C-alpha cells in the first residue's frame, strides 16, 4: 500500500517537506500542486487582505484518506501528501500543498489533479475571506455530497 501523509497546520507550508514525504526510488514523476491565496478585489468589499481557514480535522482526515484510497485504486501511487494550512493565510502564501509520486509523470499529474479537485468538492474545510471593508465565509467543500467518479474509472 502506498504511503499517505496528511496534515492541517497553522504554520506556513513548506513544499519541500511534501516532496520529501513522497520521494521514492521508483518514482519517475512527482507532481506538486501549490495553492496560494491570490490577490483580488471585490467590487464592493475592496481588496482581499487574507483568507482564514477552518476545518473539521477528524472528518477532513477521514475524507482525504478516502480520496487517497480512491486515487490509489486508479493510478499506481507510490506516495501522496496533502498539507493544508489553517488560520490566516496572506495573499501570495500557500494554503495547500499536494505532492504525488508515481512511476510515470502522466499518472502523477492526473492523480494530483484528482486529489485537489476532489478535496475542494468534499473535504470539510472552510475559508473566511477578509476584505478591506468586510469579510465573508466561503465553503471549500460540500462534505455532504458524493464526489464524482473520475473519468476512465473502472466500473464498480
For the chain, give the DSSP string: --EEEEEEESSPP-HHHHHHHH--TT-SEEEEEEEEPPP-EETTTEEEEEEEEEE-HHHHHHHHHHHHHHHHHHS--SEEEEEEE-EEEETTSEEEEEEEEESSHHHHHHHHHHHHHHHHHHS-EEEEEEESS-EEEEES--TTSPPPPPTTPPP-
Give pLDDT tens digits along the chain (156 positions): 789 999 999 999 999 999 999 999 999 999 999 999 999 999 999 999 999 999 999 999 999 999 999 999 999 999 999 999 999 999 999 999 999 999 999 999 999 999 999 999 999 999 999 999 988 887 655 444 433 434 444 433
**pLDDT confidence of residue 137:** 86
Amino acid at each position: 500500500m502506498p504511503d499517505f501523509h496528511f496534515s492541517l497546520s497553522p504554520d506556513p507550508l513548506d513544499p519541500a517537506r511534501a516532496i520529501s514525504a513522497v520521494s521514492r526510488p521508483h518514482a519517475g514523476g512527482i507532481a506538486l500542486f501549490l495553492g496560494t491565496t491570490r490577490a483580488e478585489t471585490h467590487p464592493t468589499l475592496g481588496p482581499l487582505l487574507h483568507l482564514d481557514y477552518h476545518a473539521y480535522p477528524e472528518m477532513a482526515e477521514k475524507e482525504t484518506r478516502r480520496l487517497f484510497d480512491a486515487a490509489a485504486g486508479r493510478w499506481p501511487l507510490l506516495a501522496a501528501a496533502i498539507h493544508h494550512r489553517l488560520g490566516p493565510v496572506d495573499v501570495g502564501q500557500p494554503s495547500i500543498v499536494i505532492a504525488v509520486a508515481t512511476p510515470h509523470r502522466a499518472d502523477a499529474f492526473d492523480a494530483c489533479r484528482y486529489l485537489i479537485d476532489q478535496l475542494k468538492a468534499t473535504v470539510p474545510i472552510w475559508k473566511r475571506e477578509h476584505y478591506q471593508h468586510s469579510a465573508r465565509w466561503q465553503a471549500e467543500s460540500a462534505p455532504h455530497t458524493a464526489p464524482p467518479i473520475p473519468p476512465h474509472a473502472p466500473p464498480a
